[in-house]
Each structure stands twice: as structure tokens, then as C-alpha cells.
Amino acid sequence: MPERVTLARYLAEQRPETRGLDELSGLVQQVTDACKGIADAVRGGALRGVLGSADAANTQGEEQKTLDVLANERLKEAGLWGGRAAAVASEEEAEAVPAPAGQPSGPYLLLFDPLDGSSNIEVNVSVGTIFSILKAPSEGTASIEDFMQPGTEQVAAGFVVYGPSTTLLLTLGNGVAQFTLDHGAGEFVLVNDNVQIPAQTKEFAINVSYQRFWEAPVRRYIDECLQGEDGPRGKNFNMRWIASMVADMYRIFTRGGIFIYPRDANRPDGRLRLMYEANPMAFLAEQAGGAATDAHQRILERAPEQIHQKVPVVIGSKEEVDRLTGYHQAS
């Protein structure tokens, strides 16, 4: 039997003996502890009374589910108490939330999408949590401007999938590790310390219902995939689309693929949020040997202009991302 390595032990073994990374490990632990509670609520579903609408909308104007609200509150509490984060920013809230008065202001900033794919809750499809951690530029109270850092400045990122098993993918900037939650013991346990996205793939994930709005390079790429072994790609492709980014991306981290949420005639800025979804996923993808662009440039190099900024996303197996990005750059 391989030696059992818990997340707490993994974090302890990763950090040098400096206060900064010690605090980072503590913040990651607090976030993942909150995710354990969210996982329990998701597992309970109707038995926990957490399904259905919260009869409210988030700052994006999207309907909030009861679980959206629960997950948001769990993660806010995890980030704001304990003195490890100066402020948190959530996809569900208009403004960043500073650490409470009287609490120590930590050296980090926490961003999160508390429940990605929440429209799938009632149909029992996998949902998840995405998070990103930045260094706070200065000591003391953080402002919204402090969050305006490119993705290259992330010091940690991860996502949790609440599926048949509860799975965490995490990077501290030195590769990607995968953990599975042992619900009985209440611990995330390491199952793969070197996750790698295959460079080549035969799968793509895109919402084809928007095909009539796509730009020409996206049409070209998907048309070539659909032509299969008789077309210019010389191989057959399968389409996969779960409408839950965490679920689609977990599949790509596991067996390769490309996830595409492009800009189109209806969404000229794309659909996904740069700070809460694109940046952490791009950081993880690059650390696992994949690639991530906005179809023209590396996502991690984009300078954010506002906290809820949207961005087109092309992410996954490097050869496929490079191909589609090249089509855009040549158009």
C-alpha cells in the first residue's frame, strides 16, 4: 500500500520555513476545509433543503441558487477569519470584502467562484468551486485595486469537483497535485502528485448551440474536427460538453482535450470571468503542461481592468490550444 499523504502533510512538505508560505498553506487549508462543508451539502441535496432558487440574483444579474449562497458564505468565512487574507472577492458579490475590523490583515488576497456550474444542481450533474490566491500588494486594508493583478502573479490556485467523488486539483506554482476527499476521515488525500494534460487529444468541449454566432476561426477549427479522419486533421474527434467548467476541465486534466468558450456576436467579451475562472484554470493548465489563451494571447498575461471582467477562453491540450490560437492570430 502506498503511503497515505493528506493535504495538510503535503502542504507542510511543500513550504520552505518562511512565514509567507506558511500563511499560504494555512489559507489553502481553510479554503479546502470550507469545500468539505460544501461537498456535504451537495451530497445531501434535497435532504439538506439546499436545492432550488434563493429568490435573488448575484452581481452579474444571474439567478442565485440556495447552494450558491451557502457556498459563498462558507468561503467568505474561510477567507476572512484567521488573519491570512486581507480581503476576498467573490463572483457572487459586487465588491471585494475586507477582513473584519479587529481581525489581523493577512498577506494574501482570495478570489473564488463558490459554485461553478450551479445551473446543473437540480439535475445532479457535477458542480464545483474554483479559487485563486494573490499576494496583497501592501500591509493593511486591501482595496479593489489591489486585486487588479495579471494571472502570472497568482501564488496558488485550485478547484474542487463535487461529483461521484470529491476531488481537488491544486497548484502552488510547482506542478499540479490531485487529492480525493476521504469523507469518512474528513481529509483530502493525495492520489497524484504530478498531473499532466496530454499534449494531443481527440476530444473538444464547446457549446455548439451558439455556432451561428461564432467567429470564422472557431468555425474552421470545429469543422475540421467534425470532418474526422477524412478531413485535414486525419483523426476522429468526439464532442463533450457538460456546461460545468469544473467538470469539463477535470476531464481534460484527466485524459486531455480542449475547452472553448469563445467570444461571439452575442458575447464580444466572452462569457467566463477572468479573475475567478480563467486565471486559476489557466495557471493550473500551464502547470500541468497544457496551455490557455483568450484565442489571441496567453490568459495569464492579461492585465485585469475590473474585478468581474469577462474573457474568451481556449484551454487544455497544448497542441490543440496552439492550433486554434494560431487560426485567430492569422485571421
Amino acid in position 207? N
Cα–Cα distance, 266 to 143 (Å, whole number): 32
Give CA torsion, residues 70, 72, 75, 81, to 10 deg.
-100
**Known binder of ligand: residue 119?**
yes
Paired residues of 162 in beta bridges: 127, 166
257 annotated to bind ligand:
no
150: cell is: 495579471
Strand 203-205 relative to strand 238-239, pairing: parallel
The answer to the question of whether 82 is labelled as a binding residue is no
Q: For residue 230, what is the enclosing H or E element?
A: none
Give strand ranges (E) for the chain: 53-57, 63-65, 85-90, 97-98, 108-116, 127-135, 154-162, 166-171, 176-182, 187-192, 203-205, 238-239, 258-261, 272-273, 291-293, 310-311, 313-316
Whole-angstrom distance, CA of residue 207 vs CA of residue 86: 38
Q: Who's near 69: CB < 8 A, 6+ residues apart? A: 54, 56, 92
229 a known binding residue? no
Residue 25 labelled as part of a binding site: no
H helix intervals, the chain: 7-14, 19-44, 66-80, 216-226, 245-255, 279-287, 318-330
Q: Is 277 a known ligand-binding residue?
A: yes
Q: Is 113 annotated as a binding residue?
A: yes
The rounded distance, in Å, linking the Cα atoms of 240 and 281 is 18
The three grid cell numbers given for residue 147, joined into one nine-digit string: 486585486
Q: Is 115 annotated as a binding residue?
A: yes
Annotated binding site: 91, 113, 115-119, 207, 277
Annotated binding site for substrate: 116-119, 207
Annotated binding site for Mg(2+): 91, 113, 115-116, 277
